[in-house]
Structure 1
Amino acid sequence: MTDTAIAWDTYSRQRPGRRPTNARGETTWFNWTQYEDHGPGLELLAVSPGAHVLDLGCGKGGNAAHLAARGVRAVGIDVSPVQLRAARERWGELPGLDLRQAEAVAFLEGTGETFDAVYSVYGALWFTDPDRLLLAVRERLRPGGRLVFSQRPAVEGCYGCQASYIPRGPDEDPAVVKRWDYEPAVWESILAEYGYGDVRAQVLPAPPGPRTVGTLVVSARA
């Protein structure tokens, strides 16, 4: 197992699973932000039933499960066996949901599948070098297909490759994974360089309350 997979296994054990229902009483739903019941939903992907969609870093599978429940053929990949085990235990019987253990770039470069949309919610688009990932995504998107991803906005002055620390036991050093942080305008420029069109990047404000950090949401078309 790679160090990255071990790090995300550690993260998975610290994070609770998705609630049984959301504030509207739904058993599946799509959430782009770090806040419950906040922000846009599935409409950002602009897909219809029967579409083929890829989740890069699906975690415990809640967003991919919502797609499958809406009649979309959803493929979710993740490097963490622990994350995928939790996803399969909760959602594994859902028709149209295909969960696979894989690293994002290796999967994209090794598959012959094409997709109507590719997305990442605090997932592989944040934690993979865009110079490796964005071209690989574009080559798997069908013409006009949409790439959408969300992540925490960059801290002012801290741009490019950064370190993310995942706490472990009291006698262990934290696990370290890399992430890539840029301001919205820079993300727009990077995506344009890799041949994407209709590129939009914005920070969605946090909901009312004590927490003030919003969510960066980026979308583009192949």
Structure 2
Amino acid sequence: MTPPRSAPWTTYPRNGPPALTAAAPPPTTSFGWTLHPGHGPGTEVLALRPGRRVLDLGCGAGRNLAHLAALGMRAVGVDASAVQLARAREHWEDVVGMELHWGDALAFLAHPTGPFDAVYSVFGAAYSTAPGQLLPAVHGALAPGGVFAMSQHPAVDGCYGCQASYVARGPDEDPAVVKRWDYPAPTWVTLLEEHGFEEVTAVLLPPPRHGARRLGTLLVRGVRGG
């Protein structure tokens, strides 16, 4: 068990948005790349078959991971929040094939539990880790032909590279400051190609036509050659 580098994520779920703090378990598993439930592509992005190994970087309360396990994947998740992992274990205790680890994503990737057929991050650790560190680590953890995919908010025009985000803590504490990495889609394509990925795509998924949230989602995907 490797202690996470980003302590703010340990308390964030307890004090964050209602979707993350709800005590009741969700009724069913589901998989999505966006913050709009039921909108956009699903597991087909990962090109997995039952029995394949998949790693979620920043699995949170585990809904995506549990869905993959329920489909027959060998699903491994790592998250820096012990609170979220406890919730995942509670919510999905009956799901077979789901393995959870508390710790830092880069530290986990440095000593993976074997090659993975897919690695993904949905507004997770890939959003808050420098690409120069993350991409070679993911590439090394993937089996030849394995897929890496990540989703996050699209970059604000002109605000590229390392940016600052505020993460809620206790009611009497100032928010913590954490880093995220924002780039336009063509830059993500270049970054993945420079680190050995092939068939790279970076697309903006528009939001649903109806709803309060009007921000789309950037979905980046690449395949390890070999």
Q: Give the TM bin, normalised by the shorter chain.
A: over 0.9
Correspondence for 2:140: 139
The higher-RCO structure (CA 8 Å, 6+ apart) is 2
Distance 1:87-1:112 versus aligned 2 partners, 3 A rule: closer
Correspondence for 1:118: 119
Alpha-carbon deviation of 1:48? Answer: 0.5
Gaps of 5+ in 1: 22-26
Correspondence for 2:189: 188
Alpha-carbon deviation of 1:170? Answer: 4.2
Correspondence for 1:220: 222
Listed one character per residue, the Cα deviations across residues 79-100 of structure 1 (whole Å, up to 9, x for unaligned) are 1111101011111331100011
Separation (CA, whole Å) in 2 of partners of 1:144 and 1:94? 27
Correspondence for 1:211: 213
Listed one character per residue, the Cα deviations across residues 95-139 of structure 1 (whole Å, up to 9, x for unaligned) are 100011121111111225100000000001101111111101101
Listed one character per residue, the Cα deviations across residues 135-163 of structure 1 (whole Å, up to 9, x for unaligned) are 01101101110001100111111110011
Matches within 5 A, 1:12-91: 12-13=13-14, 14=16, 15-17=20-22, 20-21=26-27, 27-91=28-92
Distance 1:67-1:2 versus aligned 2 partners, 3 A rule: closer
Gaps of 5+ in 2: none
Correspondence for 2:152: 151
Separation (CA, whole Å) in 2 of partners of 1:3 and 1:74? 23
Distance 1:54-1:95 versus aligned 2 partners, 3 A rule: same
Separation (CA, whole Å) in 1 of partners of 2:221 and 2:191? 12
Is the contact made by 1:10 and 1:166 (CA closer than 8 Å) also made in structure 2?
A: no
Listed one character per residue, the Cα deviations across residues 162-190 of structure 1 (whole Å, up to 9, x for unaligned) are 11101234432111111000000000000
What letter corresponds to residue 44 of structure 2 in structure 1? E
Alpha-carbon deviation of 1:199? Answer: 0.3
Is the contact made by 1:61 and 1:87 (CA closer than 8 Å) also made in structure 2?
A: yes
Q: Does 1:198 align with 2:199?
A: yes
Is the contact made by 2:25 and 2:91 (CA closer than 8 Å) also made in structure 1?
A: no
Alpha-carbon deviation of 1:38? Answer: 0.8
Q: TM-score of the superposition, structure 2-length normalised?
A: 0.91
Is the contact made by 1:121 and 1:151 (CA closer than 8 Å) also made in structure 2?
A: yes
Distance 1:90-1:144 versus aligned 2 partners, 3 A rule: same
Is the contact made by 2:198 and 2:223 (CA closer than 8 Å) also made in structure 1?
A: yes
Is the contact made by 2:161 and 2:182 (CA closer than 8 Å) also made in structure 1?
A: yes
